[in-house]
Amino acid sequence: MAYTTIKKPSDYFNTKLYTGNGSTQSVTGVGFQPDFAWIKNRTNVSGFGHRLLDSIREVTKELYSNANNAENTITDSLTSFDTDGFSFGGNTGVNGSGDDYVAWNWLCNTSISQGVGYDATATVKANLDTNMAIATYTGDGDTTSSRPLIDCGGILIDLIIYKRLDSTSNWCVQSRYGTTSSTSYHLRLNTTDAEINGTGTIGNFGSSGIRPRYTNANDGNNINSANYVAYVFGSKKGFSKIGTYTGNGNADGTFVYTGFKPAFVMVKNTNNATADWTMFDVKRNTYNIMDKRLRANLSNAEDAPLGFIDFTSNGFKWRTDSFAVNGSGNTMIYMAFAEEPLVGDNPCTAR
Q: Which tops the pLDDT comparison, 3 or 341?
A: 341
Give the model's confidence band at 244: pLDDT under 50 very low, under 70 low, under 90 confident, else very high.
very high
Q: Are 210 and 227 in contact (CB under 8 A)?
A: no
Rounded-to-integer distance, Cα 190 and Cα 98, Å: 27
Give the model's confidence band at 119: pLDDT under 50 very low, under 70 low, under 90 confident, else very high.
very high
Rounded-to-integer distance, Cα 107 and Cα 71, Å: 22
pLDDT tens by residue, 253-290: 999 999 999 999 999 999 999 999 999 999 999 999 99
Rounded-to-integer distance, Cα 169 and Cα 163, Å: 7
The pLDDT score that the predictor gives to residue 349 is: 34
pLDDT tens by residue, 166-212: 999 999 999 988 766 667 889 999 999 999 987 667 677 788 899 99
Percent of the chain past pLDDT 70, that is, above it, reads: 93
pLDDT at position 33 over 70: yes
pTM exceeding 0.85 = yes
The pLDDT score that the predictor gives to residue 181 is: 63
- Among 51, 214, 241, 225, smallest CA distance to 143 is for 214
Q: Are 295 and 266 in contact (CB under 8 A)?
A: no
In the 8-state DSSP scheme, what is residue 155? P
Q: Are 237 and 313 in contact (CB under 8 A)?
A: no
